[in-house]
Structure 1
Amino acid sequence: MGLDAPTLKLVGHGQFKRVNPKSDLFKVIKFHHVDWWCSDATSTQRRFGWGLGMQLVAKSDLSTGNTTFASYVLKSNDLVFSFTAPYSPNIEKSKESKCPVPWYKSDQALQFIASHGLGVRAVGVLVEDAADAHEKATANGAVSRLEPVTLKDEESETEQVVSEVLLYGDVVLRFVSGSYQGPYLAGYTAVASEPLSYGLQRLDHAVGNVHDLEKAVNYIAKITGFHEFAEFTAEDVGTVDSGLNSMVLASNNEVVLLPINEPTFGTRRKSQIQTFLEQNEGPGLQHLALKTDNIFATMRELRQRSSQGGFDFMPRASDAYYENLPAKVGDALTAEEYRQVKELGLLVDKDDQGVLLQIFTQPLSDRPTVFLEIIQRIGCMYERPGGGSAVPPVLEQAGGCGGFGKGNFSELFKSIEDYERTLDIN
């Protein structure tokens, strides 16, 4: 995909035909991490660690000689979150700060927090070559936010290359590559801790909200080569009160999925996407979908901690929704699984390939902006070839199996509308 790439147009779910042209401009492997910016990294990482079942694996703060910011890294299997907060830039430094990332600027972080509150600053993606990714992205119109920087890990004598381009709003797409195999970025100090996981496996998709959907999608597709994976219009997913338009971009391997939403207008209530754009003071990352292989076990853990410093979830769907589920989903779930779906307040949908189980948290902080989605995908298994006798074939699940909950959007919107009625924002 180059400068003359075809323009992507919103046509609606019914008219959209999925095709994977393998058009990535550079090799993309998977999500690497998500970097959250906040005003208090210590308290924030403790809440996420307790509420989601993620263990502290690395840090950079005053105890490691970093007088610029405090940053803590949490991990659950292949899911990695970092929480970074600036120290006061006005405090006189007695010595040079041992800051592991030379591009960090406290004044920029303070402005980000003032504008957005708790939010995602960087979506990290593991690529084959971060310098090459940056070069090709900027050659195709990407706005550079960080020229390639080489970080060195003295203990392992390995290196890591990091670069960034603008994604949308104040969010950057961060490319990561190199020989360093640590839990996050080279230069952070590893932390020994007891293994902890409630079953969250990895980041499935990262969703952004923007003012102009087609403009944002075409920018991202042009700078990455990502192809369109799915799309939905207000007619597909809205209620009589509000709606949205959405398009999903995917890497060649369809492991990195980037849905983008825009608000629609002319309904009785303001679209929740418009509410986000107002409360976030512009485009930004709306939610992260965290994948588990056993949503029943994971949600029992998360529900148990909801009232103990964890996260609150959107209200359960109506009884009629659960009564109609077997007719919609069929025998993909057992009677016992249907019972647990209702008990835990999950939503269920399916496409022509698989089944999706999902549930959404309420907003994570003071503003009705960023939230989390917990999902499980069922079906779409295929055998990835191995590397001869030494590396046997591996059974894997195709990316995006079961879709993105199109059949649940109306029920979800009603839940969000009910929640927003409790807030003085419309």
Structure 2
Amino acid sequence: MSTENTTEIKKTVPQAEDFLPIMGTDYVELYVGNAKQAAYYYQQAWGFQPVAYSGLESGSKDRVSYVLQQGKIRLVLTSPLQPGGEINAHIDKHGDGVKVVALWVDDARKSYEETTKRGAKSYFEPKEVSDEHGHVVLSGIHTYGETVHVFVERKNYSGPFMPGYKEYKPNFQVKDVGLKYIDHMVGNVGWNEMNKWCEFYAKVMGFAQMVSFDDKDISTEYTALMSKVMSNGNGRIKFPINEPAEGKKKSQIEEYIDFYNGAGVQHIAVATDNIIETVTALRDRGVEFLYVPEAYYDDVLDRVGEIDEELEPLKELGVLIDRDDEGYLLQIFTKPVLDRPTMFFEIIQRKGAQSFGKGNFKALFEAIEREQNLRGTL
């Protein structure tokens, strides 16, 4: 594991107070109904590699977890081994979904102290766990819905993941698809809750608002939503927060909240250096993406200007294009990866752009509305 020093990380969002240095996303933990099968899906379809395992064989009596990694992205897939308890309750209420967004910090005790004294609700107090590879310090706070942040301090640890897990290297190994790191993670919250949670990230965690979008920016004939993007000081953690806005029909945010039964992580945006190769590999392995009408490409280059890529393969895959003052970006969104229409993934390639594809919002939301209409939830 890297032991990069926080003092070397450049601050790129100057307005962030940034009293809580965060070096990156440590892992994302999903509570799922069947961790073994979910792990197979993320390996086979998404190219994640198995790294570590916790279960009966490693002394865990109440849960089993598989740790998968690709680039700097680490997923932990956890299922209960006994009836009752928090994990079963979470799955019963929400279906499969993100429980933990873990943040890699230099000092988990200080992170806990700084956030709780500013009003964060404790998830668990700092604790040290150790094995023959060293020790990890963990602490946790609550955020929107039943989502939590766990602060992970691992500078004194050299094992495959953390104590309580053993190395997991099955014979089944697949080629990765070129995913590098988590670009941003989007949270959906209820009516009139966006500002509350943006203030939480500003006050409790020292984040700053990068950009905001209102219902004029993010709307179609039928639906609308509001969004603000919060970022930590070095820009490695970016959390757009969405809330519904009034429209003629039910927005994607309302649909999410209805089926998830509350606020939660809507999508995880993962970065690639070659979106054409990555999306082609994902599609060939069965990952389904939203359909973008061919007409979108008729004038897209008039809007975004010259790009390095050939337009035809982007059109064939349904990749969206947008430009800001810093450069351009390429992005595409999967259909929900779960049975409930809740969590999905975004694949993004940044060619200088620091924005989030505002010029694509209308095309994207119309594509989502087509899927909602098929589900009968629009």
Q: CA deviation at 1:116?
A: 0.5
Instruction: Determine helix, strand or coil for the equivalent of 1:215.
Output: helix
Instruction: Determine helix, strand or coil for the equivalent of 2:298.
Output: helix
- Report 1:31-46 matches (<5 A): 31-46=25-40
- Report 1:99-178 matches (<5 A): 107-154=85-132, 156=133, 158-178=134-154
Letter in 2 for 1:341: L
1:368-391 superposed Cα distances (whole Å, 9 cap, x missing partner): 111111111112xxxxxxxxxxxx
Structure 1: 5+ residue stretches without partners:
1-17, 90-105, 380-400
Q: CA deviation at 1:195?
A: 6.8
| Distance (whole Å) between structure 1 residues aligned to residue 347 and residue 359 of structure 2 | 17
Structure 2: 5+ residue stretches without partners:
1-11
8 Å CA contact 1:80–1:184 kept in 2: the answer is no
Q: CA deviation at 1:340?
A: 1.3
Q: CA deviation at 1:22?
A: 3.9
Q: Which residue of structure 2 lines up, in the alignment, with residue 204 of structure 1? A: 183
1:105-154 superposed Cα distances (whole Å, 9 cap, x missing partner): x6011110011001000001101111100111000000111111111122
1:46-84 superposed Cα distances (whole Å, 9 cap, x missing partner): 101111110111001123232211110110011100100
Aligned length: 362
Letter in 2 for 1:361: T
1:322-361 superposed Cα distances (whole Å, 9 cap, x missing partner): 1111111211234x2x111101110111111121111111
Q: CA deviation at 1:192?
A: 2.7
1:179-210 superposed Cα distances (whole Å, 9 cap, x missing partner): 11444332210123547411000111111000
8 Å CA contact 2:124–2:140 kept in 1: the answer is yes
Are 1:230 and 2:230 matched, yes or no?
no
Q: Which residue of structure 1 lines up, in the alignment, with residue 323 of structure 2? A: 350
- Report 1:328-343 matches (<5 A): 328-334=303-309, 336=310, 338-343=311-316
1:19-63 superposed Cα distances (whole Å, 9 cap, x missing partner): 622411221111111001011100011101111110111001123
Q: Which residue of structure 2 lines up, in the alignment, with residue 276 of structure 1? A: 256
Are 1:304 and 2:284 matched, yes or no?
yes
Instruction: Determine helix, strand or coil for the equivalent of 1:135.
Output: helix
Instruction: Determine helix, strand or coil for the equivalent of 2:38.
Output: helix
Q: Which residue of structure 1 lines up, in the alignment, with residue 5 of structure 2? A: none
TM-score, length-scaled by structure 2: 0.93
Larger Rg: 1
| Distance (whole Å) between structure 1 residues aligned to residue 174 and residue 109 of structure 2 | 34
Letter in 2 for 1:31: T
| Distance (whole Å) between structure 2 residues aligned to residue 358 and residue 182 of structure 1 | 35
Letter in 2 for 1:303: R
Letter in 2 for 1:174: V
Q: CA deviation at 1:365?
A: 1.3
> 1:27 aligned to 21, 33, 56, which one?
21
Are 1:422 and 2:378 matched, yes or no?
no
Are 1:359 and 2:332 matched, yes or no?
yes
| Distance (whole Å) between structure 1 residues aligned to residue 26 and residue 13 of structure 2 | 25
Q: Which residue of structure 2 lines up, in the alignment, with residue 188 of structure 1? A: 165
- Report 1:242-253 matches (<5 A): 242-253=223-234
| Distance (whole Å) between structure 2 residues aligned to residue 165 and residue 313 of structure 1 | 34
| Distance (whole Å) between structure 2 residues aligned to residue 294 and residue 186 of structure 1 | 35
| Distance (whole Å) between structure 1 residues aligned to residue 254 and residue 226 of structure 2 | 12
8 Å CA contact 2:22–2:106 kept in 1: the answer is yes
8 Å CA contact 1:33–1:184 kept in 2: the answer is no
| Distance (whole Å) between structure 1 residues aligned to residue 197 and residue 20 of structure 2 | 20
CA distance 1:305–1:86, change in 2 (3 Å): same
| Distance (whole Å) between structure 1 residues aligned to residue 251 and residue 102 of structure 2 | 29
Instruction: Determine helix, strand or coil for the equivalent of 1:150.
Output: strand
Q: Which runs of 4+ in 1 moved over 3 A?
A: 193-196
8 Å CA contact 1:76–1:196 kept in 2: the answer is no
Q: CA deviation at 1:423?
A: 1.1
CA distance 1:24–1:198, change in 2 (3 Å): same
Are 1:293 and 2:251 matched, yes or no?
no
Are 1:324 and 2:331 matched, yes or no?
no
CA distance 1:422–1:22, change in 2 (3 Å): closer
Q: Which residue of structure 1 lines up, in the alignment, with residue 9 of structure 2? A: none
Letter in 1 for 2:257: L
8 Å CA contact 1:208–1:287 kept in 2: the answer is yes
| Distance (whole Å) between structure 2 residues aligned to residue 293 and residue 186 of structure 1 | 33
Instruction: Determine helix, strand or coil for the equivalent of 2:336.
Output: coil
